[in-house]
Amino acid sequence: MPAPEPLTIVIVGAVAAGASAAARARRCNEQARIILLEKDAHVSFANCGLPYYLGGEIADRAKLLVATPAFLARRFKIEVRTHSEVTTIDRSRRVLTVLDRQSGQTAPLTYDRLILTTGATPLVPPVAGVDAPNVFTLRNLEDADRIHAFLAAQHPARAVVVGAGFIGLEMVEQFRRLGLHVALVELLDQVLPPLDREMAHLVQEELTRQGVELHLGDGIKSLRLEGPKADAVELNSGAVLPADLVVLGIGVRPNTASAKAAGLELGPSGAIKVNEHLQTSDPLIYAAGDAAETVHGVTGLPGRVPLAGPANRAGRLAGEHAASGHAPPMAPVLGTAIVRVFQVAAGMTGLSAKAAAKAAIPFRSVLIEARDHAGYFPGAKPMILKLLYNPQDGRVLGAQAVGAAGIDKRIDVIATALQLHGTVQDLSNLDLAYAPPFGSAKDPVHMAAFAALNQMAGLTDTLTPTPTSRTSRYSTCAPTTNTPPATNPVPGTFPWTTCAIG
């Protein structure tokens, strides 16, 4: 009896999820034919490192190239085709139409299993001037090359960054590092929209200290043109911000056009709906990464979490299931993230207070000040840690932290507890590493858990500090019905007034 034909697995889109899917598929199936299609020039690069390359912290562009087509072909026997864009998916015949973006020619490509890792595209507001040559988005290495070339050739003095999410704040930091005057525009009334307002306010204070011009609660109306270039950004408020270059970082939308045209089901978020094995409504087609939905680990609801960590994990599992027919299920995602903003870092995991309220999940919160290591050891830096929990059973719901050091460690610890459905009692019992240069005998995680346990037992009452304006320091404290967080305000370094009880 002749040997069966090898399985043909086609992966559409590379970078995080796609490259992970290809490598895992090969590890799980030595006989499969694996074809990786990428519409751009690079198949695996560190897109999270792009802002730091533009600011010069990463000096060598080659360091951003995680894997080249030659490496994938040699190491994993993967057929890599760059500049190749899938224009149609014929599910009944299992045939793709692939456009060669260099030659303009199309060709059919058959598959047995198809993995869609088509990523997301930056949102561009529908306003005049966005196509000017000094207006940029940052999605891939080609975008970074264009910005890098512009910086080198034009020596701009003023930059406007639109959008105060992770990418926007990273670009603000790097432009200031290069000596540019930077104006930051955000439609909402705070930076870092996923954070609760009192936590985001600490980041805003750092931006102000670093000379960043903040325009919060204001949106972009148009870009004023001087010749072909934009020389100013006009805001809805009427403010006019002079600009030598503009970066739009207002968010992303999933690339789902080919999936939608093929009749694959989309979820409520607009991304591709998948099951726990990353299969779409067609079980022969998988989706992973920014184009696909994930289940949130606290709410249990599907949604979009466009982060590199979940994309890599999802791609790996999709590749394994496509190649072998079995794989562990994709774990729910917590949205754990962190960003450096000059001299502070801000991180979060799970739900914020506003997200919990939106999901109608009962919660209470505590907010503590602590040091990243023992206060008597030189160099201890302050941090603010906010912990959310379910008041009925003490289950941890989320955390946010802002500070100069040690944020990643505490957020990762709480993310681990979240993944394991831990409670504040579990957090209080954690056996964490301690020595004066590294931590305290009672770690900030312990202190937050202790405060939550005191709150649950009725031993303390808590009040929340409230910013009086978008840019002013905290000056009032008031009880709230849903989020009564504050305990132990920060003396001196952070802008709190004394408002804790006990």
Tens digits of residue pLDDT in 130-155: 999 999 999 999 999 999 999 999 99
pLDDT averaged over the chain? 91
Q: How many CB atoms lie within 10 A of CB 493?
A: 13
Would you state the pLDDT for residue 464? Answer: 63
Average pLDDT value for residue range 162-177: 97
The structural domains of the chain, ordered by start, are: 8-120+253-324 (3.50.50.60), 124-250 (3.50.50.60), 343-478 (3.50.50.60)
Would you state the pLDDT for residue 237? Answer: 97
DSSP state of 102: T
Which of 97-106, 270-279, 474-483 shows the lowest per-residue confidence on average (mean pLDDT)?
Answer: 474-483
Whether the pLDDT of residue 462 is over 80: the answer is no
Residue 366 backbone dihedrals phi, psi, to 5 degrees: -130, 155
Cβ atoms 215, 186 nearer than 8 A: yes
Average pLDDT value for residue range 323-348: 97
Would you state the pLDDT for residue 465? Answer: 66
Q: Which H or E run contains 86?
A: strand 84-90
Would you state the pLDDT for residue 47? Answer: 87
Percent of the chain with pLDDT strictly greater than 70: 91
Whether the pLDDT of residue 356 is over 90: the answer is yes
Would you state the pLDDT for residue 4? Answer: 54
pLDDT in tens, 2-39: 445 689 999 999 888 999 999 999 999 999 999 999 99
Would you state the pLDDT for residue 466? Answer: 61
Average pLDDT value for residue range 228-248: 97
pTM of the complete model: 0.90
pLDDT in tens, 35-65: 999 999 888 888 899 999 999 999 999 999 8
Cβ atoms 351, 57 nearer than 8 A: no
- Residue 220's nearest CA partner among 168, 143, 180 is 168
Q: Kindly list the catalytic residues.
A: 48
Which residues are within 8 A (CB) of 115 and not within 5 positions of it... i.e. 6 or more apart?
9, 10, 11, 12, 18, 21, 25, 278, 285, 286, 287, 288, 315, 318, 319, 322
pLDDT in tens, 107-123: 999 999 999 999 999 99
Quickly state the pLDDT bin for 236 (edges 50, 70, 90): very high
Percent of the chain with pLDDT strictly greater than 90: 87
> For residue 25, how far is the Cα from the chain centroid?
26
pLDDT in tens, 401-444: 999 999 999 999 999 999 999 999 999 999 999 999 999 999 99
Q: Which residue has the higher pLDDT, 239 or 478?
A: 239
Average pLDDT value for residue range 210-235: 96
DSSP state of 72: H
pLDDT in tens, 180-221: 999 999 999 999 999 999 999 999 999 999 999 999 999 999
- Tell me the CB-side half-sphere exposure of residue 460, using CA atoms within 13 A: 20
Quickly state the pLDDT bin for 476 (edges 50, 70, 90): very low
Whether the pLDDT of residue 485 is over 90: the answer is no
- Tell me the CB-side half-sphere exposure of residue 257, using CA atoms within 13 A: 8
Buried b (16+ CB within 10 A) or exposed e, 9-27: bbbbbbbbbbbbbbbbbbe
Average pLDDT value for residue range 150-177: 97
Whether the pLDDT of residue 492 is over 60: the answer is no
